[in-house]
Structure 1
Amino acid sequence: TLALLVAILFGLGAYLHGPDIPVVDPEPIPRTFAFGLVLLGIGLFAQQKPLLAALAGGLALVYDMRVALPFWAVVVLAFLFDRQSRHLMRASLPILAVFALLLANFAQLQPGLPQAKALFDRVPATIADIQQYRLSNVWVSSWARAEMWHYLAIWICGLWATVRIRNQLNCQTRWFLVMMPVIGISSVLASYLLLDRMRWFIIPAIQPAQTVIFVVAFASVTCGIAGIRAARMRQHCEAVAWLSVVLAFPVSTRVLDFLKPGKLVYAAVILTVSAVFTVAVARWREKNIEALSLAVPIVVMLWAGALSGAHRQNIRASPVAEISDWAGQNTWGGSMFLFPDAGRAGYPGMFRAMAKRAVWVDWTTGEQAAYFDSFADEWWRRWHDTMEGGFSTERLRSMLSLPIDYYVLKRADALADVRPVFTTRELLVYDARDLRTARLPLRFTRAS
């Protein structure tokens, strides 16, 4: 029952400002699978099932090594320095070796990199400027001053909660609950030193600062356990305090902001919900709590399924979906599109994925600037020439020499005297040949 209640609280999720990632990510990406497998491995170690725990940790290595390495670092540290846990950790190390060899074989099968670099090459100054513009979440110096105080406060709360529940934890669980957040906080400092100061080129691809996710995740778990435990012991004030920390995360991980006058309403709501939850846990009988714990996940899954279905319907009903269908049926596979007035919006990337057509440049693809210098240079050149700054007909005319076949504009930027080849309620598609051969100068309909 306690485990289910804690899982419900953890499932509320949180968004990490700075690293720019969610704790509970709805997208089926490698990091999401690896994170879930790491949590599963820790739970299996807590249940003294080292072989299954090692299997989960090994699979996490295959999905995303960056997420799994802190897990295995704790395993190795516990094996080396803790006699009480050594027999459990020893059983998992052969599985670690097997997965390490498997990853080495996978690495040998991969083709060579188009831009091979020496191990300790530095990020060139021009590439650093591009990355700081597009990937500010990777450069710790761009957000640490505003965000790190919040993560330090969360870390302290999580550590304090771990101390409060230490008697209910076995030795190997204490290792994970203490060391994983420590590694998370240390990763931010390591990222700052290795990238912002030393400019080591491999850091933008690894993004070690994302490991701070374990600080928030484990604080949610430990504070949730401490709060429910305090509620069951009728220590209501303490329970409300711990549960308020957990319930604050879905609202904002900038927890210190709740002390500001402008956020006091949110703080009052969180305290009220925490108090209600505390009273419910303290007064309800065990059978009632168990029924609630079993019912809530079912409701959440049904709700999540409904949201997922609605999300898919919204995607298919979007103007980009209509243009994607039109492009798939009426344009060549090698056609090039550009959304010159989209700015940093994500719908050009959605179009590229749905229509399977090339887009000259968009904000989403700039994320790849972390991996290849040549891509970063090319992306910045295209972005600066076509997207950076305001959109105007003069700028559109300057783009007509580019190898672009179709220009997609918002209806607010509709062109006079040029007929679009396809329209939706929000977007218009213009053939580049029509724009190049227009008899009159290009102008917006709103200006006529």
Structure 2
Amino acid sequence: MISDPLLMSLVLFGFMFLCLFSGLWIGFSLLGTGIFGMLVFNLNLPPVISVWDKIGGLLANSIYNSTNSWSLTALPLFILMGEILYRTEISTKLLNGLLPWLANIPGRLLHINVFACSLFAAVSGSSAATTATVGKITLDELSRRGYDKRLAIGSLAGAGTLGFLIPPSLIMIIFGILSDTSIGKLFMGGVIPGMMLAGAYSIYIILVALVNPDVVPHENETFTLAQKLTALKDLTPILGLIFAVLGGIYMGITTPTEAAAIGVIGSIVLAFAFKNLTWANFKDALINAVKTNCMICFIILSASFLSQVVGFVGIARALSVYITGLGLSPYMLILVVGLMYIVLGMMLDGISIVVMTLPIVLPIVVAAGFQPLWFGIFLVFMVELSQITPPVGFSIFVIQGISTETVGTILRATLPFFIIMVLMVVMITLFPDIVFYLPEKMVQ
């Protein structure tokens, strides 16, 4: 039997990555790793208790505890809302509504990806849906008008990840459930960092446009005030849905689950108003929402089982003691954790990163003096970075399918926005009040 906690961790992670690289589904990989850990490590069980009985009892307990959560009901509702909106003309409406207002800013319509992704992220909760929905409209339109395609692709890749940071966010819901952190406060904690990140992207585009005017076409479109005001009618439905979903949470009127239900109703109303909601579309949205939710819930319950195994054999506690004994400063610890997440992001998707590492990393980070709420936003940034890091950067593949550009070209275009995101992580680490300001103002 293996008794050294550090060696236990290496063996468990090694087995888990072996399962993942073999092509096994993530949920089965996590479940199999938990069973492997129970079988291999010394459990100190009484002779009358079979290890398989213990595994069955622990698995049943994990399934019940991880899924018996009212907060979890927000997950399928937000997924369904995003699926319905994905099948509407919302991205076209966003483009038409934003065009007149961006024409006079340096970089002009190159900002369309940032603004459109920010607004769509506030009603979808999904990075992939944000990138795909906005990109299908904006990339072709910008290319047709003569804008620099590389900068357009980079801004889409960077801004598309805002789907995880600007609430509602599926990653925040999963983190809140697994860490027992208020989902409403996580939502509010992501608002200011999300707006700052979007602003940083726009500032970068402005600077590039000022240094190199050739990234925008020389013909300048002009719009009258009347045209600008008329364009607002295309933005009003989206802004109204954002207010309906997030306004109630911020003012303490609705819970995240109630806000998600309102969001589903609002998305159906918009789909009817845009005349996009056919029975075929609605059926596809329902089926995809069920598939996605089942996949996520299976990963969550498997991760919960693995988490209990990790705690049962003493790995989390031993690692906390070990890392604490290294004498690392809190900032050095976060640096090490951040580098670990960037490496993991090169191999795994965002949800897997959260559910696999949280049972071990969260106790260590909390012991170092960081609050779970702040770490939740930090972790969302890490997941965002994983979306645009090779070879498993999901947003990269989405953009490749839309733009037909090579992965290398997309990565080079994305690099400046990757660096901006890293700088934002540094900023929220040095100034954590950026995260805490809105949650502390929430009406209880």
Pick the structure with more helix per residue: 2
Name the TM-score class by shorter chain: under 0.3
Structure having the higher Rg: 1
TM-score by length of 1: 0.22
Report the structure, 1 or 2, having the larger strand content. 1
Relative to the length of structure 2, the TM-score reads 0.22
RCO comparison, higher one (Cα < 8 Å, 6+): 2
